[in-house]
Structure 1
Amino acid sequence: MSNTIPTSTSVVESAVIKAPLSHVWHHVKLESFANFWSALKSSELVKGVSQDTDVVEWTFKDGSVVQVKQEEHSTINHYITYSVITAEPKLTYSSVLSTIRLYAVTSGELEGSTFVEWSGHFSNDADAGVIQDAKFKRRDALADLGKAAAKM
């Protein structure tokens, strides 16, 4: 019998950011994440990897380094999808595909704000600790994004 705890392999975190969509969208570029996400020391475009694909290296303040590949980007529908292609230290799971999607709040007391959803879909070898870590990293990053967008 296995000692692993069954868990969902997806995580979705969301927030309403009290700033217009255009202010929030301005920050949602893989190479700009270090400008708002306090967990990152740097985020830089990796040159020479591919002419067709953007690959960005995120260096976290804890010393870990992740290269993420932009899979999709829509300036019309305001979303970006990316995957992790390398990590140091090595990941304990095979893959993850993440999407950040923005929606303008068009009515109600939060009109003029932006609803942001950040999902992650992990391979089935990701354990409960990985999912919890992803949940809290996204929550922290969304809070940081809200602070950065409000300054514009």
Structure 2
Amino acid sequence: MSDRIPTSTSVVESAVIDAPFSDVWHLIKLQDFSKFWSSLTTSEFVKGASPETDIVKWAFKDGTELEVKQEAHSSIDYYITYSVISSQPALTYSSVISTIKLFPVTSGTHEGQTFVQWSGNFSSDADAGVIEDAKYKRREALADLAKVVCKK
């Protein structure tokens, strides 16, 4: 019998950011995440990666290093999808694919602001701790993004 707690293998966090859509969208590039996410020390293209493939290394303040690959990007539908292709230390699960999608708020009390949704879909071997960690990291990053773009 397993000690694993059954859990959803997906996470979705969102925020309404009090900044114009263009200010927020401008930062949603894998290589620019260290410009807003306080947990990162650097985010830079991986040297030697294929020119057809966007691979960025994220170095976290805790020493973790992830290589993330851009899987999809749309300047029409305003989203970016990426996967983690390597990690030091190694991940405790097989895979994850994440999408950040932006929506301009066009009416109502939040008109002129930006709605941001950040989802993650993990392989079935991800446990509850992984999902909780992903939830809080996304919340932290969205709050950091809001702080940076609201200063403008």
TM-score, length of structure 1 as denominator length: 0.99
SS at match of 1:56: strand
1: distance between equivalents of 2:32 and 2:70? 13
After TM superposition, the structure 1 = structure 2 runs for residues 1-150 of structure 1, keeping only pairs within 5 Å, are 1-150=1-150
Provide Cα deviations, 1:92-139, integer angstroms capped at 9, x if missing partner: 000000000000000011100000000000000000000000000000
Listed as ranges, the gaps of 5+ residues in structure 2 are none
User: 2 CA distance for matches of 1:93 and 1:107?
Assistant: 41
Q: Report SS of the residue matched to 2:124.
A: coil
Cα deviation for residue 151 of structure 1 reads 2.0
Same amino acid, percent of matched pairs? 66
Q: Which amino acid aligns with 2:6?
A: P
Q: Which residue type is aligned with residue 127 of structure 1?
A: D
Runs of at least 5 residues in structure 1 that lack an aligned partner in the other structure: none
What value does the CA root-mean-square deviation take over the aligned residues?
Answer: 0.6
TM-score by length of 2: 0.99
What SS does the corresponding residue of 1:118 show, helix, strand or coil?
Answer: strand
The alpha-carbon deviation at position 47 of structure 1 amounts to: 2.0
Q: Which moved further from structure 2: 81-90 or 39-48?
A: 39-48
Number of equivalenced pairs: 152
